[in-house]
Structure 1
Amino acid sequence: MQSFRTEIENPLVQKDIIELANKIELFNNGKIDEEKFRSLRLARGVYGQRQEGVQMIRIKLPYGKVLSNQLRRIAEVSDEYSRSRLHITTRQDIQIHYVDLKRTPELWAELERDNVTLREACGNAVRNVTASETAGIDIKEPFDVSPYADAVFKFFLRNPICQEMGRKFKVSFSGTDEDTGLSYMHDLGFIAKIENGVKGFKVMLGGGLGSQPRHADEFYSFLASDKIIPLMEGVLRVFDRYGERKSRAKARLKFLIKDIGLEAFKGLVEEEQNAIEFKSVAINEATYQTSTPVSVEAPTVDIKDTEAFNLWKATNIIPQKQDGYFAIGIKVLLGDFYTDKARLLADLVEKYAAGEIRLSLRQNILIPFVKADLIPFFYQELKKLGFAEAGYNKAVDITACPGTDTCNLGIASSTGIAEELERVIKAEYPQYLSNNDLVIKISGCMNACGQHNMANIGFQGMSIRTKDKLVAPALQVLLGGGNLGNGNAYFADKVVKIPSRRGPEALRRILNDFEANANGKLFVDYYKEKGEKYFYQLLTDLSDVENLTQEDFIDWGTEEAYVKAIGVGECAGVVIDLIATLFLECDEKIEEAEEALNNKVYSGAIYETYRSMVNAAKAILLSENVKTNTQAGIISQFDELFVSTNKVELGNTFSDLIYQIKVFPPTKEFAINYLQSAKTFLQVVKQYRESQLVAKN
C-alpha cells in the first residue's frame, strides 16, 4: 500500500485506492460480504466480467476528452494489466477487460498519474458526464458546453449525496439544437441556449432506455448556467430519498417521475433548495483548460488513390468554427482498438494537432484542430494505422455493445452481427457510406447499452425456442427510432423477433424497401408513414422457427452451439440488506461525517450523517422482517412501527429528527448538532438491537 501513498499527491484519490486495496484483501480473506464488496468495487470502476476470475475496468473520461499523455498512460496500463485492447463505450468511456482483481488498485494508481480516474464509472452513482464530441468546435453551437460538463463532473465526483443511490444517474450536454448529446434519453440532459444575452440550457429530465424506454420531460425551457449545479443537486437528493431501492428494474429516475408526476417531483426539488449550500454556481469558461493547436509546417504527401481520399474527406472531415481548422473523424469498428495504435495516435495529435482526441457516443474518435493543409498528411498517417476508413457517423458505422463477448447480461452476440451487417452494407449498399440519415445500433440484451431502441434500425439480442425446446440465438428487430433535435425524439417499435442468422436478410429487406419506396424521405419519416404493421408483414416470415438449420444454432462470431447463459448484472450494484453490515456502514458514515466536519465541508458532513441514520433505521426494520423500499419509506415505517408504538424512545418523531436536513441550511452549527443527534439515535437503535438478540437467545 505504501507505493500508493508516495506516488499519489491527491489525498482523496490516495484514500480511495488504499480503501479498495484493503477491501479486496478483506474480501479474499472471507471477512467482508460479497454483495457489500461488489457495491464498493463498482463505485471504483471495477465490474464483474462474463469470464470467471477477471474484471472489466471502466475508465471515466468526462465528455470523451482524452489528452495525448492520458491516452499513452491508458495504453501502458492496458499492456501491463490486460491484453493491450481498448474498448470505447457509448458513454465516451474506455473499458479494459480481463484484469486480475488483486491488481486493480495499482492499475488505478497508475492511471491517476495522468489524472485519469475510475471513480464512479460504474455503480449507483453519477456516471460519466457525456457531451457532444464537437463541443467547442461546432459551427452551430451558441457556446462551448465543455466547461459546464467539466464543472458538473468535478462537483459531483465523490459528492456524498450521490454515492449510494438506488440506481445509476446519467447526465449529458448537447452543444446545439441538433441534440447530439441525446438529452431526451438521460436522467438530466442539457441543451445549450442563449436568452437575452445569458448563457443557459434547456433542461430535460427523466429519460432512459432499457427494457422500458422513456422520453425525458422538459423540466425547464431555459435555465441560466449558474443554476444547473444547484438544480442537479436538488434532483439527486430527491432521487436518493424517494427513488426505488427494492426492485432494481424500477429504480431509475424515470420510474419515480412516472409514479409521482413531473410537477410533484419539481415541488420536491424546490423543497430541497434551502438545504443546498450553493444557490448559484457560476462556471467561468475562462478558467477551463483548453488545448492549444500547434503551429507546424505540413509535410509533403503524395496521395495515390485520390478517389478513396476524396471519399474519406467527404465523410470524415468536419469544418470547425475556428477558421482554418477541421476535425477528423475516425471510424473505430465496434469501438475496439489496440494500444500500439493508441500510442501512435497520441504522438500524431500531439505533434500535428492540439494534443487531444474526443471519444464519441457512437464509439468513434474525433481529432480536433487539424489545419487544412495537414489533412492529406493525416490521411496518410491514419491509413497506416487502419484508421482511414470512410463512413464516420454514417449508416455503415454501426454501434454495438460488447454483448456475449464479455458482459454478464449478454443474451446474444452484438459484435458478431454488427460486423456482418457492416460487411453487407459495404458490399451491397455502398451508397450508405456517405448516408447521414440511417442510424443502426445493436445491444446484446434489453438493457440497451448499444442504444438500440433509439436507432432508426435497432437489433436486440434475445433467444428463441422451438417446439422441441431447442434454444437458438435471436434478434428483436426495432424500427423507427430517431433524434429529432432540441430534446425531441422517437423511440423504436419492436417489430418482430427472428433467429440471429437471419439478421442480414432482415436488413436487406428493410433497405431494399426504403430504397424503392421512400422517395427521398428520411427513414424515420418513412417508417412513421408506413407504420409497424407494414414492416411486420415485410419481415414476419423470417420469424418462423420450424425450419431452422444447424447454422441457426450457432451465434455470430462463434463456432460453437449457442447456450443461453445470463449472469448477475452489475450495472447498478446490489442493495445490501445484512443487518450487521448496515450497522458497520452506520459507523463508517459517522466517521466520514466527522472527517468532513473537521475539513469544514459542512454539507458533506450533514449528508453522511443523514445516510447513517437511514441505514440504522433500515437495519432495525429488517431485524423484524419488515421489507424496505425507498429512504422516505424507511423513515415513515420506522416512525409507524417503532416510535409511535414506543418500542424506541426518541423524544420526538424520527421524521422530525432526520428531515432537518431539508429545513436548515448547511451551516457549521447545524452540522455539529445534526451529527450529535445521529450519534444519539445510533446508540438508541443499537441498544434496541442488542435487546432483540438477548430475547432471541
Structure 2
Amino acid sequence: MQSFRTEIENPVVAKDILALEAKIHEFKEGKLDEEKFRSLRLARGIYGQRQPGVQMIRIKLPYGKVTSNQLRRICGVSDEYSTGRLHITTRQDIQIHYVDVNRTPELWSQLEKDDVTIREACGNTVRNVTASETAGIDVNEPFDVSPYAHALFQYFLRNPISQEMGRKFKVSFSASDEDTGLSYMHDLGFIAKIENGVRGFKVLLGGGLGSQPRHADELFSFLPSDKIIPLMDGVVRVFDRFGERKSRAKARLKFLMKDIGLDGFKVLLEEEQKAVPYTSYPIDAETYPKIKIGDAVAPKVEIKDQQTFEKWKSTNLVPQKQEGFVAIGIKVLLGDFYTDKARLLADLVEKYAAGEVRMTLRQNILVPYIKEELVPFFYTELEKMGFVEIGYNTALDITACPGTDTCNLGIASSTGIAEELERIIKKEYPHYIANPDVAIKISGCMNACGQHNMANIGFQGMSIRTKNKLVAPALQVLLGGGNLGDGNGRYADKVVKVPSKRGPEALRLILDDFDKNGNGRSYADYYADKGQMYFYDILTHLSDADNLTPEDFIDWGTTERYEKAIGVGECAGVVIDLIATLLFESEEKIENARETFEEGKWAASIYHSYSSMVNSAKAILTAEKTKTNTHIGIIKDFDTKFVVTGKIDLGSSFEELVLQLNKNEPTEVFAKGYMENAKTVLKKIEAYRKQELVEA
C-alpha cells in the first residue's frame, strides 16, 4: 500500500485524511485491533458490505443540498473508485459501493476539494443533519431553515463530544408545520416557528424507528434560534454519559428517555449547562450563500406528447414561494442513478437554474429555481436523461433500503419487491400514480432504514419457517403509520407476516379495500377507524406457510433459493476493545486535549480529557470483566472497585474528579488543570495494570 499526497488546503481535514491512511497501514500490519479499526472507519463513512473485501462509502450531504460542482466531483469519485452508480439514502446522503478500503483516503481527499465530506456519515456519531427538501422555497415556511441546519452540521463535525457515543444521533429540520423533516422520529427534531418576530423552533426529543419505534417528546414549544446549538450540545453530552454502550439493542437516546422520562432527562440536561461552552450561539442567516440563477438562454422546444407532459406536471412540479419559479421533482427508482446522467443534470441546473439539487428523504432529487417558462425545456432535457418518470412523492414513489443487495443486515429483498409493487400500481392501480396521500415504504430488516414503520403501508424483510423447517423469505406487513404535522405522527401496526412472493397480493387486498371503503378519507385516518384486527382478518389467509410452492423459496430479484444470511451490522455497532488498545487510545485523547488547548479551544480540550479518563477506567474495568455499559456506570464502578478499595489512590473519588466537567465553566485554567488530572489518571492506571501483569 503506497502513501498518497493530499492537496487539501484545510489543515484539519488534511490531518484527518492522513490519520485514516496511517490507521489503515496499522491495521494491515496487524498493529490495530480489527474491532477498533471498524469503529474508526465507520466514523469516517466507510461501511462494510455484504460482499467481502469491499466497502460502501457514505457521502455526507447536509440537508441534501449538492451544488453542480459537488455533484460532478462525486461523479468523478464514483467512476474512479466505484462502479458509477450513486444511491440516494433516506437521510439525504449519497452512497457508493464496492470500494477498496485502501483507496478511501485518496477518495476522501478528492471529495474534499469541493467541500464534500464522508466524516461521521456512519458510526456512533451525529449523523447527517436532514431537512425538508423544500427548505428555502416552501410556500408555507416562516423562514429558510437551511442556514440553521448548516450551522449545526458545522458545529458538531469533529466535535469531541460526539465522536464515540453509544450509538448514532439523528437530527432533522422541518421547514413548516407540515413537518416534512419528520421531527417526531428523530433524536432531535426542529420545526421552524416565529414568535413575536423572533425566529425559533419547536423542539422534539427522543424519537426513533427501528424494532421499537418511539414518538419524540415535545421539549420546547418554542426555542429561539440562538439556543438550538447550546441545547443540542447539552443533549449530546447527556446521551454520551448516560446512554447504553454495551447492548446495541438499547443504545439509542429513545431508550434512555424511556428509562428516565422527559423530566429526568431535563434534570440531567440542566446539570450539564456549566460545561456547555455557549449559552447563546447566534446564527447569521444573512451570510448564507445567496441564490444565483444561471443566465444561459434556453432554446425553444416543442412538446410532442402534450398529454404525458401534463400528467408529469401534475405530479412532478412543486410550487415555490418565489414568484415566477417552480421546483421539479425527479422520481429516482429505489434511489439509484448513474454518473453519466448526474453530470448532465449538474450542467443543466448550473446553466439554467440555481446550480444546485436536493437529495430528498424519499430517495429522489428536487431541482429548485426553475423559471416557469423553462418548464417545457427542462422536461425535454430531463426526458433525454430518463428523469421524467411520473409520480414524484406519490403512492407510486416507493421508498426502499438496499436490503440484501449490499447490506450485512438484510434479511429479505427490499429492492426486488419494491420494483414489483411499483409495476403493479402502474398497471392495475393507475389512479394511485397521482395520489400523494398513500406512502409505501420497505426495509430489508427491522432497523428501518427504509422507514417502513412510519408508512401508511409498510413492509419489513423477514423469514418464515415451515413445519418441515424449511426457510423462505417473508414480509411483515405494517399499516396505519403517517405524518400528522407539527411534530405529531403515528407509527404503523404490525398486522401479519406473509411469504415475500405474496406481498403483491397483500398490496392488492389493501388497496382494493381502501378503494371500496375509504370514502375520501386519508389512509391513516381510514386505518385508525378500522383498526388492526380488521386488516388482520383481510390478510391472515396469506400467512399460511403450509402450502408454499417452490417459487416461494426464491426471493424477489434473484433466481437462487433463499438462504437467510445475516452478517455483522455496522450501522451503529458497539465494539469491545483490547485493554492495551484502550490505554493507547487514552494517550491519544490526552494528545488531542493538548492540541486543542494550544489552539485556545478550552471546551474541546476538556472533553478530550474527560474521554481519556473514562476510557482509562473502562480499560481497567474490562480487565476485571466488569460491564462497561454507560459512562456514568464506568465512573461509579471504578470508584467501587479501585478507589474505595484503596487499589488506586487519586486523592478524591473518581466521580468527583471526572465530573468537575459539568461543574465548571470551560475556562483556560480549568482546561489545563483537568488535562493534568487526565494524565495522572492514565499514569496510575497504567502502573496498576503493569503491576497486575507482573503478579499474574
d(CA) in 1 for partners of 2:480, 2:259:
27
Separation in 1 of the partners of 2:464 and 2:453?
Answer: 20
Q: Is the 8 A contact 1:82 1:96 kept in 2?
A: yes
User: Does the CA-based 8 Å contact 2:413-2:556 persist in structure 1?
Assistant: yes
Q: 1:277: how far off? A: 1.1
Q: Deviations over 1:392-419 (max 9, x none)?
A: 0000000000000000000000000000
Partner of 1:318: 318
Match of 1:190 in 2: 190
**Residue aligning to 1:355:** 355
Cα offset, 1:295, TM superposition: 3.3
Identity of aligned residues (%): 72
Shift of 1:25: 1.2
**CA contact 2:455–2:481 (8 Å) conserved in 1:** yes
Amino acid at match of 1:643: V
CA offset at residue 574 of structure 1? 2.6
Assess if the C-alpha contact under 8 Å between 1:90 and 1:450 holds in 2: yes
Q: Is the 8 A contact 2:92 2:363 kept in 1?
A: yes
User: 2:474 — aligned with what?
Assistant: 474
User: 1:252 matched to which residue of 2?
Assistant: 252
Contact 1:35/1:574 (<8 A) preserved? no
Deviations 1:476-511 (A, max 9, x none): 000000000000000000000000000000000000
Residues 1:290 and 2:290 aligned together: yes
One-letter amino acid of the counterpart of residue 602, structure 1: W
Aligned-pair distance for 1:378? 0.4
Q: Summarize the alignment of residues 483-494 of structure 1 with structure 2, pairs less than 5 Å apart.
A: 483-494=483-494
* Residue in 1 that maps onto 2:135: 135
Q: What secondary structure sits across from 1:329 in the alignment?
A: strand
Q: Deviations over 1:349-370 (max 9, x none)?
A: 0011010000000000000000
CA distance in 1: counterparts of 2:174 and 2:479, whole angstroms: 24
Match of residue 547 from structure 1: 547
- Aligned AA for 2:527? Y
More deviation, 284-293/133-142: 284-293
Aligned with 1:508: secondary structure? helix
- The one-letter amino acid of 1:485's match is G
- Does the 8 Å CA contact 2:456/2:480 hold for their aligned counterparts? yes
Is residue 439–residue 456 contact of structure 1 (8 Å, CA) maintained in 2?
yes
- 1:2 and 1:667 map into 2 onto residues whose CA distance is 43
Once residues 287 and 529 of structure 1 are traced to their aligned partners in structure 2, the CA distance between those partners, rounded to angstroms, is 49
CA distance in 2 between partners of 1:267 and 1:2 (Å): 52
The runs of 4+ residues in structure 1 deviating greater than 3 Å are 1-6, 295-298
Matched, 1:528 2:497: no
Aligned partner of 2:342 in structure 1 is 342
Structure 1 residues 3-402: aligned runs within 5 Å: 6-402=6-402
Q: CA deviation at 1:292?
A: 1.2
State the one-letter code of the partner of 1:579: I
2: distance between equivalents of 1:628 and 1:123? Answer: 19
Matched, 1:665 2:662: no
Aligned-residue offset at 1:650: 1.1
Question: Conserved in 2, the CA contact under 8 Å of 1:4 and 1:17?
Answer: no
Three-state SS of the structure 2 residue aligned to 1:221 is: strand
Deviation, 1:576, is: 2.9
Give 1:459 deviation, angstroms.
0.1
For the pair 1:574 / 2:578, whether they are aligned, the reply is no
How far the C-alpha of 1:264 sits from its partner, in A, is 1.0
1:471 CA displacement: 0.5
Cα distance in structure 2, aligned partners of 1:2 and 1:176: 50
Distance 2:272 2:502 in 1: 53
**Amino acid aligned to 2:692:** Q
Give the distance between the partners of 1:577 and 1:406, measured in 2 at CA: 27
- In the aligned structure 2, how far is the partner of 1:198 from the partner of 1:691? 61
Q: CA offset at residue 275 of structure 1?
A: 1.2
1:35-83 Cα shifts (integer Å, max 9, x gaps): 0000000000000000000000000000000000100010111111111
Cα distance, 1:682 vs structure 2 = 1.2
Offset, 1:2:
10
Gaps of 5+ in 1: none
Give how far 1:695 is off: 1.1
CA deviation string 1:366-405 (max 9, x = no partner): 0000001100000001011110011100000000000000
Structure 2 alignment gaps of length 5 or more = none
In the TM superposition, what is the alpha-carbon distance from 1:278 to its structure 2 partner? 1.0
2:498 corresponds to which residue?
A: 498
Whether 1:655 and 2:652 are equivalent positions in the alignment is: no
1:422 matched residue in structure 2 = 422
User: Contact 2:60/2:119 (CA < 8 Å) preserved in 1?
Assistant: yes
- Residues 585/3 of structure 1: CA separation in 2 closer, same or farther (3 Å cut): closer
Q: Deviations over 1:204-244 (max 9, x none)?
A: 00000000000000010000000000000000000000000
- 2: distance between equivalents of 1:523 and 1:626? 50
* 1:279-309, Cα deviation, whole Å (9 max, x unpaired): 1000001111133112343421110110100
TM-score by length of 1: 0.99
2:366 match: secondary structure: strand
Tell me what 2:596 maps to.
Answer: 596
Give the number of aligned pairs.
696
Q: Any idea what SS the aligned residue of 1:659 has? A: helix
User: 8 Å contact 2:173–2:183 — kept in the other structure?
Assistant: yes
Which residue identity is paired with 1:132?
S
Deviates more, 1:677-686 or 1:561-570: 677-686
Preserved contact between residue 401 and residue 415 of structure 1 (Cα < 8 Å): yes
**Amino acid corresponding to residue 327 of structure 1 in structure 2:** A
Q: Is the 8 A contact 1:291 1:356 kept in 2?
A: no
Q: Deviation digits for residues 510-535 of structure 1, max 9, x if unmatched?
A: 00000001111100010011110010
Letter in 2 for 1:120: E
1:447 aligns with 2:447: yes
Query: 1:422 corresponds to which letter in structure 2?
Result: E
One-letter amino acid of the structure 2 residue matched with residue 192 of structure 1: A
CA RMSD of aligned residues (A): 1.0
Distance 1:627 1:199 in 2: 45
Q: Give matches, 1:403-422, under 5 Å.
A: 403-422=403-422
